[in-house]
Amino acid sequence: MVRPPLHNANFRLLSVNSLDNGNQTKEDWVNTQLIPVQAVGSLFCIFILLSNLLVITAVITNRRFHYPFYYLLANLAASDFLAAIAYVYLMFHTGQASRKLTVNGYFLRQGLLDTSLSASLANLLVIALERYISVMNCKVHSNLTKRRVTLLIVLVWAVSISMGAVPSLGWNCVCNLESCSQLAPVFSRSYLIFWSVSNLVAFLVMVSVYVRIYVYVKRKTAVLKVHTSGSINRKRTPIKLIKTVMTVLGAFVICWTPGLVVLLLDGLNCEQCQVMKFKRWLLLLAVLNSVMNPCIYSYKDEEMWATIKNLLHCVGNGTRRQRSSKANSRPLSSGQDTGISQPPSEETKVSAHGELKGSLLFV
């Protein structure tokens, strides 16, 4: 039997999906509903782009953030930045516009979302590794070198791009239309099963790791309270950074788990589940996750918020360089620092880490 040319297969694929999902598309994405969704979604995406750009800039310009944890946090912000671009592309290529997409257009639309999600998940896994290393070595920040952190970041994006590109490289249903999914028209159901299960397992692993780290640090902190008078700067202890990451992880799991479960049901060809009805709300939930992350960074880390505010002042006053320099050297509050304009010396860092190490884990 001769296989039909690819362009014929593409035409058949689009035609089948238009017939199968046409009624659902007309019902859910008429212009009176699509335009408000695009307007609100665009505002969210603008906020995501600008806020995550501020987080990345804050990490680059503030020398107090030049540690592996904050480099990885900036990389997580970069994945949210990519997610905003993916959401914009999806919003303006859905509904009636989706019928004009070619197969490559579908691959691009879904691939951007998959890459951004994979990047967020991989970043959280790497941050979990960095936190585990730092806590087990009795330090606020790990000893990962810049070279190793750079390699980890490159590895994160290599894996993420590969995951997003797998369907376009052959794991799709272009030549087997009966195996096509509903939510991702050119993706085969077997790929959705693999992708959703692997991500759900990664969620469980990350939650287990962070719970173990949190319990360990919480127990040591309880011992610390008994043997000290509370003189250690609580904003620099591991528990503070771990709470930040656990909040980000919690928001990520809450916002993405329903979508992965629905993808899994679609992959299992659950005809009674009516997965298309949940598509709009799951997308909104995913967008809210990227909106929440920069807010969590700012709320949980006062120094990050202070740096972001100074960056905004720089933009408003037209004196970016001068004010950024002041922000990097300005103390967070009068009760926490001495007001020295220069960054803390190496001796001060060693002393602070030594105090934490001796008090936290060697009591």
Bridge partners, 188 (sequence order):
180
Please state, as a whole number, how many other Cβ atoms lie within 10 Å of the Cβ of residue 105: 16
CA distance 124 to 171: 26
What dihedral angle (degrees, nearest 10) is formed by the CA atoms of 340, 221, 302, 341? 10
Q: Which of 174, 184, 171, 173 is nearest to 21 (CA)?
A: 184
The answer to whether 210 and 245 have CB atoms below 8 angstroms apart is yes
Average pLDDT score over residue span 7-19 = 42
**123-147 pLDDT, tens per residue?**
988 888 888 888 777 776 777 888 8
Query: What tokens does 7 get?
Result: 């362009």
DSSP string, 115-184: HHHHHHHHHHHHHHHHHHHHHHTT-SS----HHHHHHHHHHHHHHHHHHHHTGGGT-SSTT-GGGB-SSS
pLDDT band at residue 158 under the 50/70/90 scheme: very high
Q: Could you give the angle at the alpha carbon of 331 between the alpha carbons of 249 and 238, nearest 5°?
A: 35
Output the pTM of the full model. Answer: 0.73
Alpha-carbon separation of residue 98 from 95, 171, 185, 290 (angstroms): 6, 21, 10, 24
Residue 18, pLDDT above cutoff 60: no
pLDDT band at 225 (very low <50, low <70, confident <90, very high): low
Q: From residue 75, how far is each of 116, 124, 206 by CA, in Å? A: 11, 10, 18
pLDDT of residue 2: 41
Note the pLDDT tens digit of each residue in 258-296: 888 888 888 888 878 877 777 777 878 888 888 888 888
> Is pLDDT larger for residue 166 or for residue 97?
166
3-class SS letters over 262-330: HHHHHHCCCCCCCHHHHHHHHHHHHHHHHHHHHHHHHHHCHHHHHHHHHHHHHHHHCCHHHHHHHHHHC
Cα separation, 188 vs 177, in Å, equals 8
Q: What would the mean pLDDT of 160-178 be, rounded to a whole number?
A: 87
Residue 79 has pLDDT above 90, yes or no: yes
Residue 187 reports pLDDT greater than 60: yes
Q: State residue 341's pLDDT score.
A: 37
